[in-house]
Structure 1
């Protein structure tokens, strides 16, 4: 009698997963919560992330095997590469237990950080279950979360310092991570501004849309300047160069009106220049750039116990030179995540000040040190594939031009800034990567699901 009234848990989950509308709405709600709450309500974001992982795994394990989304996911290169990387981590963990010195033990929590790229396909799956025109809502939700965070943590004195050209971080870990948030937001706002303004149906509507857009760009611009992170500035320069090259290449192919494009470009330059001058940012940039003293001898010369670089650039170059020696000792599988802190602490090449950092300020060196050439190669394959998928999606007409331009501009930005900070091991970098790359990959994943559905 009881068996007929109470369904087994797997059966209940299967019923939930088979109800496409309920499942898709639940998934979308959790994606929105994750995107919005990371900064203002971190605990909510963490719970949402865990539930998203469970929904994703439930779809793979208990979902309808004939559903287009499941068939696409199990064959998706991002999923398969990350699955291989998970297997590598499990095998490497056993190898570390056998081969590492007893005073070095990889941290399981730190190893999990390198699995965070899974969130790219997890978020993309949630968005692919929705109409594709809703994908942009994720970026708006993320921006709204940043605004709410700034409102809840408003500090008039800190904003006065920012406007006066002082370096601030608004409480987002540190200034380098603040620069990541505002720099990424600025790039997205610039790339998608035309799409946003084209929604206007009248001059009044245009003004109503242009004002909040201009305010958002101004805020993102000032936040990027206030963080005074040179790597972010360099990343934005690289992304703008990529943006201009991609747009110029498309002008010839699409035969757009050069006057319209030129006018848009000039207008954008005027707006950004006006903001730049109004905020007295020239002195800020000049001061920050002049503070950078790069001495390549710190990188090229063999490490010395007497070496003690004082500038942030010198510290980075010197630590990378030391890290090269560590990497060469275990080039294939590395030393394991979470051990670099101990290696730095045990080293005679660093003073107490640097030993307090506990990381290498470079995602590439960080990954090579932790997982060697094998693990780094798998993560590089992931990046290359996402680039290929983006290109293919655009060429087949399944990705709008502005998304395509934003995608490769952001890739350039991301690759540059990770040369100077280990964003890959921080939740801020993991969140931003999942949010933006998940948005980008949605267009490829959605197109594959549509193709698979038509086959049926």
Structure 2
């Protein structure tokens, strides 16, 4: 039994010809990346990063099969060309704003999940191990990067804290963890043979859900709360579609397990609201004050207040005007920050994923990002219809992209280290089955 479990971890059913030694080394380095790339960034970049990229690119270029000639490769090539052209043109038109060299990694780093998914392969155990390493990193983050217990207690008392990083990034990362746990839990409870066996599973999940929920509350990031609410409605919609399409019998639904899940979910929700009501009330008061100020200004461009949301509206207007001025080439990597500084604002980004991409590299960068999402989710649906993708990972893939895109409508985390990290971590896992299916198909 133990031997079979070890084999399930080491064996990569990817549909490619990745040899056993590379599969093992790749999994090890993938887990090191998952655990250390964000919270131990300096150690990772000094000792692991070069070897990690060498191994994942070796797996992709030599053993990637038809994946090497997929749309992912062409997207990467176009992204490199876009960044180089943008740098050349900004060097000619505005040499004072140009960097010393082009920054293709600013776009291409969003594709790291592709070779990672190839290495993970169609193995639920390998995927969960990879995600568990990332979850362990998030659990340790307040103590490694932040103020530890003192900062956590500040968050409990209603002070907005980042637990080691910017609160917006904190909300995104812990929100992703919370969404993943809440999506996975019902499937695992549903699979157990006896209802009483759900107790140890719930005991394991409960503190993780509470911890990730605290991270979201402590960040007091309204965009993340909005993304979570939208994600909840998406889950409800998926469940309703399932009921209408499959019309399962009472026996199929297994009401005893549904009751356990309902009680646990209700208890978790009330516990989170009870223990973390102070930061929630603080965030609501900030939101209510901003709505009052914004309603008084009627969102007129010349009188928009410089509140949290008001600044975003101002940044978006600057971004739209900047894209109109240079729609093809953009303003290169530092474009958003420099344009905001020219208008007297001290911020690094436009606070919108697509506007940020357009400001930096023009409308073709927006098109490439859209193609990246569309092609990935075409492969996911294809794998689901082929019956090779576990339902919990399929549902998580849908809920995550809704959560990620909604939250990034009010931030540019997709162009920040935390956003790139969490995007590649999640997408590597959810794309492992679809990419394996793609490689094995003709």
TM bucket (normalised to shorter chain) is: 0.7 to 0.9
> What residue number does 2:13 align with?
none
Classify 1:159/1:93 alpha carbon distance in 2 versus 1 (closer, same or farther; 3 Å).
closer
Aligned position for 1:119: 112
- Match in the other structure for 1:36: 35
Tell me the residue number matched to 1:24: 23
Against the structure 1 CA distance between its residues 277 and 300, is the aligned structure 2 distance closer, same or farther, given a 3 Å change threshold? closer
Q: What TM-score do you get using the length of structure 2 for normalisation?
A: 0.86
**Corresponding residue to 1:316 among 265, 290, 312:** 312
CA distance in 2, matches of 1:386, 1:18: 22
Per-residue CA deviation, residues 412-433 of structure 1 (Å, 9 max, x unaligned), is 1111111111112211000000
The answer to whether 1:79 aligns with 2:83 is: no
Aligned to 2:335, which of 329, 333, 339?
Answer: 339
Distance of 1:19 and 1:254 partners within structure 2: 38
CA distance in 2, matches of 1:223, 1:56: 31
Contact 1:107 1:339 in 2 (8 A): no
Give, in whole Å, the separation in 2 of the partners of 1:291 and 1:110: 40
Residues 1:96 and 2:94 aligned together? no
1:331, 1:21 → 2: CA distance? Answer: 47
Q: Which ranges in structure 1 are unaligned for 5 or more consecutive residues? A: 1-16, 64-68
Where do 1:427-446 residues align within 5 Å? 427-446=417-436
Partner of 1:289: 287
TM-score by length of 1: 0.83
Q: Which residue matches 2:10?
A: none
CA contact (8 A) 1:230 1:288 kept: no
Stretch moving more, 213-222 or 33-42: 33-42
Deviation at 1:19, TM superposition (A): 7.6
The alignment yields a C-alpha RMSD, in angstroms, of: 2.7
Quick check: 2:330–2:361 contact (8 Å CA) kept in 1?
yes
> Is 1:181 aligned with 2:173?
yes
| CA–CA separation in structure 1 for the residues paired with 2:60 and 2:402 | 33
The 3 A distance-change label for structure 1 pair 430 and 318 is same
Deviation of 1:289 after TM superposition, in Å, equals 2.8
Structure 1 residues 193 and 18: alpha-carbon distance in aligned structure 2, compared to 1, 3 A threshold? closer
The answer on whether the counterparts of 1:60 and 1:70 sit within 8 Å (CA) in structure 2 is yes
Q: Report the Cα distance in structure 2 between the residues aligned to 1:292 and 1:54, rounded to whole angstroms.
A: 49
For residue 202 of structure 1, report the CA deviation from its aligned partner: 6.0
Structure showing greater Rg: 1
Deviation at 1:343, TM superposition (A): 2.2
Q: 1: distance between equivalents of 2:407 and 2:385?
A: 28
TM-superposed deviation, 1:131:
3.3
Following superposition, the deviation at residue 60 of structure 1 comes to 5.0
State how far apart, in whole Å, the 2-side matches of 1:385 and 1:297 are.
Answer: 43
* Aligned residue among 360, 373, 378 for 1:388: 378
Partners of 1:151 and 1:202 lie apart in 2 by: 38
Paired residues of 1:105 and 1:339 also in contact (CA < 8 A): no
Structure-2 separation of matches of 1:23 and 1:51: 12
Summarize the Cα distance change of 1:416–1:300 in structure 2 as closer, same or farther, 3 Å threshold.
same
Alignment counterpart, residue 236 of structure 1, candidates 207, 228, 232: 228
Say how many residue pairs are matched. Answer: 418
Could you tell me how far apart the structure 2 residues matched to 1:298 and 1:411 are? 33
Q: Is the 8 Å Cα contact of residues 142 and 164 (structure 2) preserved in structure 1?
A: no
Structure 2 unmatched runs, 5+: 1-15
